[in-house]
Chain A
């Protein structure tokens, strides 16, 4: 490791320690931090909720980072694919009476095919072009998806009443059942994708293409096919995220935008194209958001400031993100 690299890691560690201490200091100053048992229960609940939320965020961010890693394309329609997943789940639940988790068996292949179609019809034309071209084309795709969803489903907020019960982890820590289910599934799906990329032949080909498309091609990898599979997987991961989001929160056609930003912040934070980075970024972001919200006076209003502030500072210290390598 180069010396500057090591120094940036130390700097990063110091910065992160500070970033996560600030909410406590502000809270102590404002009097919102008390170290009695009940308050520690609140704190633990918030951290646990943050980790669970982060796991789900990380899963759909994984889709975004996969597409970026392989094709250098920023999929600005990623949040809309999450939204599509939520609506697919909703339709399965209310019209076909299928359990939201079981319906993934139906919705994920649909989303995969959707991703393949998007790759064939739109993205193939812009692979290798300047990043802005792809950004614009996916942005356009996102808008089209929003308005199509508005036409079909109107702008009313939908929600899927699923597993509304409470899970008591301890006497003071309680989490919603749906959150636990979502988190477990997100971990399972993310791990499966990770193992697939690490171990399977196809996964290795995907990683090889991400490392260097030309060399991969020379070695006999059908790069075009890898592109199709990558975007298919990305869309399926987004749709899986949508299914998990739909059983927790209300959604309407416009909620996708929030998820695009979130996923984007996560992969920038974690390191673009890095799978572990997405996981760490997701957890870090969600936990910090919850800590700020719990302790800083009127903190919920400044949560986004804290989240994007974290992203900017990490980038200043390590331009490649937490797990990123230096781009050259």
Chain B
């Protein structure tokens, strides 16, 4: 590993002095370096930016509490520009040149999948908060853990709601990348289980802006409802063009877009009745996780808006990392890995306890945008209101 004899000597000396035996002891000013590369710019900047908010909040929270194992956190956040190749390079640099003590995860399943190869090689554990595609955890990797729900469950609520309103034909569309494809696979499985016919399955390139032909194809297929495994720009474009073309569906559900606060703001009336999935909502009264209320208050005070699930997940994952480090009592990555694989932590985001593959069994919720607000409509135990479905036709809105 990277510990040199001198460092080992220093550690022994530190031990003798009764100081926590942390590898971070060699940092100037008794600091511990926490670092990662995340999408500060590019197509993922919107959700990733909210995670960055939580990361900064957590760093300040921990430093105010006296730091990580007594070490003040120095944060190093690099920008992967929403690009897989850039991210790989940056993680190599963070681990080998910057020698970070604790690694932060990137955003998006595609980038996390690529970065996991790097972290695995250097045996550096990470708790992912921006990746939901289960194949990442099906390759026997030992150093990557997950706090969020897997992509396959994102459309579970929407498909159930479609069943409730008697939809028999469903179209499943999505961006042609790892996470949307997995979400689509999950939606198809749920549709099959509930006896709904998937009449159209289609992926589109990541930079697609014109959905006219695809929307016509959906209509031609006879689908009554659309399950769209989409991010922000694509979901927004689909809805706008549905309205322009006067195409009516009983239900439209998107995976990521509607969960972002400015989705409803930007689209206005066009976003009404849309279903979205959320891994978490800032509703302490409904979810009741410990520390949730205080976290939401601190976040809102600092950033002027309530955290969304991207932010909540990142904060939860960092709480897990902090708890695991406390459990281990050092920055030894092998021990940290073992702790992350076994501990159970209650976070603001919910319970963390991973299975043998490293995946958490987190439960998400489905909401509907109603009068500009996200209202939880599924599962029933958390539902704030009843879903208003089928969606009224454009001409009657």
Contacts and interface: CB of A to CB of B under 8 A. Distances in A.
Nearest to B216: A42
Interface stretch (B19-27, B121-129, B231-239, B317-325): B231-239
Nearest to B41: A155
Contacts of A194: none
B185 to A, nearest CB: 14
B176 interface: yes
B26 to A, nearest CB: 36
B244 A159 contact: no
A164 interface: yes
A176 B245 contact: yes
Chain B CB within 10 Å, residue with most, of A176, A251, A258: A176
Contacts of A178: 244
A13 B229 CA distance: 40
B45 A156 contact: yes
A293 B244 contact: no
Interface stretch (A95-103, A295-303, A309-317): A295-303
B45 A164 contact: no
Count chain B CB atoms within 10 A of each CB in A34, A53, A166 and give the residue with the most: A166
Given A32-B220, A164-B244, A249-B210, A298 B43 contact: no
Interface residues of B, number: 39
Contact of A298 (B82, B202, B262): B202
A255 to B, nearest CB: 7
Nearest to B395: A166
Contacts of A179: 244
Tell me if A's interface is mostly helix, strand, loop or mixed: helix
A159 B213 contact: no
A37 to B, nearest CB: 12
A39 B219 CA distance: 9
A250 B244 contact: no
A289 interface: yes
Interface string A225-258: 0000000000000000000000011111011011
Closest 10 CB pairs of A and B: A176-B244, A293-B213, A249-B209, A300-B204, A49-B212, A290-B213, A155-B45, A42-B216, A157-B233, A301-B203
Interface of B: 41-43, 45-46, 82, 176, 201-205, 207-210, 212-214, 216-217, 219-221, 232-233, 236-237, 240-241, 243-246, 262, 266, 268, 270, 394
Given A45-B216, A176-B245, 17 more contacts: A39-B220, A42-B219, A45-B245, A49-B212, A155-B43, A155-B46, A156-B46, A174-B244, A176-B244, A250-B237, A252-B233, A294-B213, A294-B220, A300-B202, A300-B208, A301-B204, A303-B204
Interface of A: 32, 34, 38-39, 42, 45-46, 49-50, 53, 150, 154-157, 159, 161, 164-166, 168, 174-179, 248-252, 254-255, 257-258, 289-291, 293-295, 297-301, 303-304
